[in-house]
């Protein structure tokens, strides 16, 4: 039996002022344009499910340290906010910590709550640790990486590396063997070192991204362009560009500049942590204490608040803010389509057209999430209905 949903439909290419999308368990069957004059005054907006490749948790659940129930709660919260494809992100840890959490999170992959796992570290630069514990960061260790991959049983999709870490070439060879995306970030690397790492990855056929571009790396200077400029230019590669477009980590103008320069490669991520969806207070990011005040999460330090400690937005919120400055299709590409391309899922998710999975988000006229359809089913927490 098929399901029909009507409203203003926004795809990666166009806006249909009034249309009907039909789908069944096999996916999207058709999208039919209707007479705009017949549209109700308060019709909903239908967009593709969001794709988030960098997310540490939410609603009190932390992917880096939480129990299985905690992690499930975090994943379900983001699903309820319209994110239908997501990587659960860890932070730097020792081998025991990472292996334990990878083994836990693979259960959520099996349940269909997350698409895979993202290791944000530990092979990054402690000088740019951001909201990560410096004592958990270490030089590149290929054997350790292999053992963590083995524990993940094929569910590790991405790792964040500093281009200057030891044995980066061998780490990239391992990424190539296991189909793991290499995200470059938390780095002090100069322009040439970063381009060399990008070139090596391209030579090996490894897909690459910039982990939260501009954050946790030196800023661009006209005489020392650094990693940020190298990742933007990408040496002719199709490197994806993560942007935490929450208005806290990056100014709107910075986001718009990157989208203007490299729109097909730029995509929004939340970098959400466990406080997402919760009121101000004290929380954790990995082993570190975080204070949430005014919706902004920062490390708790003896001197007061420290570095930004992950995000507290959802992609639904980022879509809403981005759409104020851009057209609807651009907002869809920024929050769904471009990230789906990084995951090599262009023919499956990230857009609305016949043949794709029926992952849809229904927004009310205020831009708030009303309904989420996941794999053709209406999402209702741990229970979904057709």
Helix (H, G, I), strand (E, B) or coil at 216: coil
Inter-residue contact 49 to 85 (CB < 8 Å)? yes
125 marked ligand binding residue? no
Mean pLDDT across the stretch 185-198? 98
Query: What's the pLDDT band for 274 if we cut at 50, 70, 90?
Result: very high
Query: What's the pLDDT band for 195 if we cut at 50, 70, 90?
Result: very high
Catalytic residue check, 271: yes
Q: Give the global pTM.
A: 0.96
197 marked ligand binding residue? no
Helices (H), the chain: 68-80, 95-110, 142-152, 168-178, 191-204, 226-233, 252-262, 315-323, 328-332, 338-342
Inter-residue contact 81 to 47 (CB < 8 Å)? no
Q: Do domains 3-47+353-379 and 50-278+308-343 have the same CATH topology?
A: no
pLDDT of residue 284: 82
Q: Is it the case that residue 279 has pLDDT exceeding 80?
A: yes
Number of C-beta neighbours around residue 224 at 10 A? 11
User: In this structure, which CATH number among 3.40.190.10, 3.50.50.60, 3.90.550.10, 3.20.20.140 belongs to the domain 50-278+308-343?
Assistant: 3.20.20.140
- Residue in 190, 271, 344, 351 annotated catalytic: 271
Lowest-confidence region among 15-24, 190-199, 245-254, 376-385:
376-385
Query: What's the pLDDT band for 348 if we cut at 50, 70, 90?
Result: very high
Mean pLDDT across the stretch 254-273? 97
Query: What's the pLDDT band for 380 if we cut at 50, 70, 90?
Result: confident
The rounded distance, in Å, linking the Cα atoms of 3 and 384 is: 14
pLDDT in tens, 94-126: 999 999 999 999 999 999 999 999 999 999 999
166 marked ligand binding residue? no
Mean pLDDT score across all residues of the chain: 95
157 marked ligand binding residue? no
Q: Which residues contact 324 (CB under 8 A, 6 or more apart)?
A: none
Q: Is it the case that residue 382 has pLDDT exceeding 90?
A: no
The rounded distance, in Å, linking the Cα atoms of 354 and 27 is: 7
Q: What does the domain layout of the chain look like in residue ranges?
A: 3-47+353-379, 50-278+308-343
pLDDT of residue 381: 73
Query: What's the pLDDT band for 384 if we cut at 50, 70, 90?
Result: low
pLDDT of residue 385: 55
Of the candidates 256, 212, 268, the residue with the CA atom closest to the CA atom of residue 86: 268
Query: What's the pLDDT band for 238 if we cut at 50, 70, 90?
Result: confident
pLDDT in tens, 126-144: 999 988 999 999 999 999 9
343 marked ligand binding residue? no
The rounded distance, in Å, linking the Cα atoms of 262 and 273 is: 27
The distance in angstroms from the start CA to the end CA of the chain is 9
186 marked ligand binding residue? yes
Inter-residue contact 252 to 260 (CB < 8 Å)? no
pLDDT of residue 188: 98
pLDDT in tens, 129-188: 988 999 999 999 999 999 999 999 999 999 999 999 999 999 999 999 999 999 999 999
Q: Is it the case that residue 361 has pLDDT exceeding 80?
A: yes
Of the candidates 58, 55, 31, 83, the residue with the CA atom closest to the CA atom of residue 369: 83
Residue 206: Cβ-neighbour burial (10 angstroms; 0-12, 13-18, 19+): buried
Residue located via tokens 């659940």: 61
3-state helix, strand, coil in the chain (%, to 5): 30, 30, 40
Q: Is it the case that residue 53 has pLDDT exceeding 60?
A: yes
Q: Is it the case that residue 236 has pLDDT exceeding 90?
A: no
Number of C-beta neighbours around residue 126 at 10 A? 19
Of the candidates 122, 65, 77, 72, the residue with the CA atom closest to the CA atom of residue 288: 65
Long-range contacts of 232-239 (CB under 8 A, 24+ apart): 232/258, 232/261, 232/262, 233/195, 234/198, 234/208, 234/262, 234/265, 235/195, 235/198, 235/199, 235/202, 237/198, 237/199, 237/201, 237/202, 237/208, 238/207, 238/265, 239/198, 239/208, 239/209, 239/210, 239/265
User: In this structure, which CATH number among 2.30.40.10, 3.40.50.920, 3.10.20.90, 1.10.357.10 belongs to the domain 3-47+353-379?
Assistant: 2.30.40.10
Query: What's the pLDDT band for 304 if we cut at 50, 70, 90?
Result: low
Of the candidates 23, 62, 1, 13, the residue with the CA atom closest to the CA atom of residue 362: 23
Q: Is it the case that residue 339 has pLDDT exceeding 90?
A: yes
Mean pLDDT across the stretch 230-239? 88
């Amino acid at each position: 039996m098929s399901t029909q949903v009507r409203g203003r439909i926004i795809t990666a290419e166009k806006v249909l002022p009034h249309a009907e999308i039909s789908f069944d368990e096999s996916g999207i069957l058709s999208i039919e344009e209707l007479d705009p004059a017949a549209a109700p005054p308060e019709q909903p907006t239908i967009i593709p499910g969001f794709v988030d490749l960098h997310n540490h948790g939410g609603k009190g659940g932390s992917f880096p340290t939480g129990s299985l129930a905690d992690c499930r709660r975090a994943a379900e919260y983001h699903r309820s906010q319209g994110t239908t494809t997501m990587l659960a992100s860890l932070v730097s840890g020792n081998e025991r910590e990472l292996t334990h959490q990878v083994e836990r999170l693979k259960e959520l992959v099996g349940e269909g709550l997350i698409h895979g796992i993202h290791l944000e570290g530990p092979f990054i630069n402690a000088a740019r640790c951001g909201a990560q514990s410096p004592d958990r960061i270490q030089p590149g260790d290929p054997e350790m990486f292999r053992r963590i991959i083995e524990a993940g049983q094929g569910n590790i999709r991405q790792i964040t590396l500093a281009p200057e870490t030891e044995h980066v070439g061998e780490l990239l060879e391992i990424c190539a063997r296991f189909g793991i995306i290499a995200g470059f970030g938390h780095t002090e690397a100069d322009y040439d070192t970063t381009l060399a790492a990008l070139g090596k990855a391209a030579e090996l056929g490894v897909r690459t991204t910039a982990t939260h571009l501009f954050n946790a790396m030196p800023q661009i200077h006209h005489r020392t362009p650094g990693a940020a400029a190298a990742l933007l230019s990408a040496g002719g590669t199709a490197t994806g560009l993560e942007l935490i477009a929450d208005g806290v980590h990056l100014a709107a103008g910075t986001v718009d500049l990157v989208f203007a320069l490299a729109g097909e490669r730029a995509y929004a991520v939340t970098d959400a942590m466990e406080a997402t969806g919760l009121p101000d207070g004290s929380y954790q990011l990995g082993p570190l204490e975080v204070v949430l005040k005014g919706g902004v999460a920062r490390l708790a330090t003896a001197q007061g608040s420290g570095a930004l400690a992950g995000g507290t937005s959802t992609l639904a919120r980022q879509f809403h803010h981005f759409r104020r400055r851009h057209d609807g299709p651009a907002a869809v590409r920024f929050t769904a389509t471009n990230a789906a391309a990084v995951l090599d899922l262009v023919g499956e998710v990230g857009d609305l057209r016949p043949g794709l999975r029926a992952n849809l988000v229904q927004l009310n006229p205020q831009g708030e999430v009303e309904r989420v359809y996941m794999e053709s089913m209406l999402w209702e927490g741990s229970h979904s209905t057709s």
